[in-house]
A and B are shown apart, each in its own frame.
Chain A
Amino acid sequence: MLCEVWSLRHFWLALAKHDLNERYRRSFIGIGWSLIKPAGMTCILTLVFANVFQVPAIEYAPFLFVGLVAWQFLSESIVQGCNAFRLANTYLRVRPVPIGIFPLRVVLSAGIHALIGFGAAIGVIAVLHGFESLGALWALVPAFAILTVTAWGLACICGIVNTLYSDTQQIAEISLQALFYATPVIYLPESLHSSGWLSTLVWCNPFAAYLELIRRPMLHGELPSAHACMLAVAFMAIAATTAWLAIRCVERRLALWL
């Protein structure tokens, strides 16, 4: 399946490029919005939560910004992924293609926004604090790869389920809202009571592990914990395997359902 996906790389890359052009067509700031949106949110939330958590704004703002960018990537991939196959109807009627390329198109489009955000975050952190260990930044490469494969897997699963049951997107949006509060995007994991239920929830939440995979090297110049790595890799494996099985199951019949 991956060989077929690779052989059509020019097609899905052109689709992702078209999506970005389409999203910012006639916009004055264009793709700059991918930076302005999380930056604006970071400013507003820092004003409030830096006070609530009693941390200096200069430390809290990069923590929050990186978290928001990573969360935005995952949630956009899942929500937009729900419609990946419905939007692909026009192409699936022309010739049989590996259907995994359509969720990949969504993930790539969201990934380009995320890369711009992470690039800006690295620049800002370098100016404000400098990096204690540049070597730890290399840990971001596998972290982005794990995040991308997970997002692709989840987008495939949501896309297939949504093609069968169109209520899926609404359920995904509500679930993501709930998951947002179970993930330390806004709050600091250290601020939770270690014996509380929320702390336990965060401990076994793979989305929290993904945030750690990116925040630790970027903000503290440290490698992520073994627990976060194992949780992230295990969830990625589950998402990728489930997506592969689901695709194998429906690939030939999908054109009939659309």
Chain B
Amino acid sequence: MAQIVLGNVDLLYPTKVHSRPTLKELLFSFLGNYGQASKMVQGLDSVTLRIEGGECVGVLGRNGAGKSTLLRAIAGVYPISAGSCQTDGKIASLFDIAAGFEWNATGWENIELRAYLQGETPTTLRDRLDAIVEFTDLRDMLDRPLKCFSTGRIMLLSFAIATCFDTEILLIDEFLSTADVQVREKAIERMLEMIRANGIVMVASHDLAFLRQICNRAIWLEQGRVREDGPTECVIESYLSSAQTKKQVPLAA
């Protein structure tokens, strides 16, 4: 059965990640303190979780709370600095609409690329190709380059590929926010199927109505820490009342 177990997970990343020193900075650094020293930011702070198969977990929190970092750490994309992160089950992630796609390649080529990236083979892909095409309902469009697809259709294609290969753990980061009602319903139905089959779905989102609709458990993150973990309705209530209190404090002052 699918399972995610995190024990006291810390994740630190350097602030100069996106502006690493150039050779000039490196050479001149010998002459003095050239440029800023690299500081470490705490992305996750002592996160301990246990998620079992059959759970659909919503991750909520303010921007920069660590929602995306948590999902990426579980997927193994970001390395944890301390603690332990164990996953049991086949993982698929939907973090970014452009991730894992080549814009100039056709829909068919992108299905191949993305499936092979997930570790599939031509044989397993052949078995599931019809299911992917049927789910997306895009057969007539797949000969065109991906850049001709609308954002919603790219999302649908990505979702279909991620969920058509017996995925047991699905990690979604604000992915369905641009989807229309039909696509959303299709995706929700697929996620519920996964949960019924004892899989795990983790969704990071600011869309609380969506989280209420599909999640049976929610985790509220604040500054990389788990502030609250419990039934979706209770966690959302606490989150909303905290946001309300923060809004009222400056007014009262």
Contacts and interface: CB of A to CB of B under 8 A. Distances in A.
Contact of A256 (B13, B26, B119): B13
Given A94-B77, A94-B99, A165 B23 contact: yes
A177 B67 CA distance: 48
Contacts of B21: 165
A252 interface: yes
A95 B22 contact: no
Contacts, number: 83
Interface in A84-121: 90-97
Interface in A212-258: 252-253, 255-257
Contact of A257 (B20, B72, B91, B117): B20
A7 interface: yes
Given A7-B119, A95-B76, A96-B77, A167 B23 contact: yes
A72 to B, nearest CB: 24
Given A7-B119, A92-B77, A95-B76, A256 B113 contact: no
B100 interface: yes
Nearest to A87: B102
B121 interface: yes
Most buried by B among A10, A22, A166: A10
B77 A255 contact: yes
Secondary structure dominating the interface of B: loop
B104 A22 contact: yes
Nearest to B95: A93
Interface in A172-223: none
B101 interface: yes
B116 to A, nearest CB: 4
Interface string A1-42: 000000110110011001001100100000000000000000
Nearest to A253: B79
Contacts of B98: 90
B105 to A, nearest CB: 6
Given A14-B112, A253-B79, A256-B17, A94 B22 contact: no
A129 B237 CA distance: 85
Nearest to B77: A255
A94 B104 contact: no
Given A18-B113, A93-B77, A8 B95 contact: no
A166 B22 contact: yes
Nearest to B102: A18
B232 interface: no
Interface size class of B (residues with CB under 8 A): 35 or more
Contact of A96 (B22, B76, B101, B104): B76
Contacts of A92: 77
B104 A8 contact: no
A3 B95 CA distance: 27
Given A10-B116, A256-B17, A90 B78 contact: no
B75 A96 contact: yes
Nearest to A255: B77
Nearest to A93: B99
B218 to A, nearest CB: 25
Interface in B97-137: 98-102, 104-105, 109, 112-114, 116-122
Contacts of A18: 102, 105, 109, 113
A14 B9 CA distance: 36
Given A22-B104, A93-B99, A165-B23, A15 B113 contact: yes
A7 B118 CA distance: 11
A134 interface: no
Interface string B1-39: 000000000000110010011111010000000000000
Nearest 3 pairs of A and B residues by beta carbon: A11-B116, A252-B79, A96-B76
7 contacts: A14-B112, A14-B113, A91-B117, A95-B75, A95-B93, A96-B77, A255-B78
Given A8-B119, A91-B100, 16 more contacts: A14-B112, A15-B113, A18-B113, A90-B99, A90-B101, A90-B102, A91-B99, A94-B93, A94-B99, A94-B114, A94-B117, A95-B117, A96-B76, A164-B20, A167-B22, A256-B78
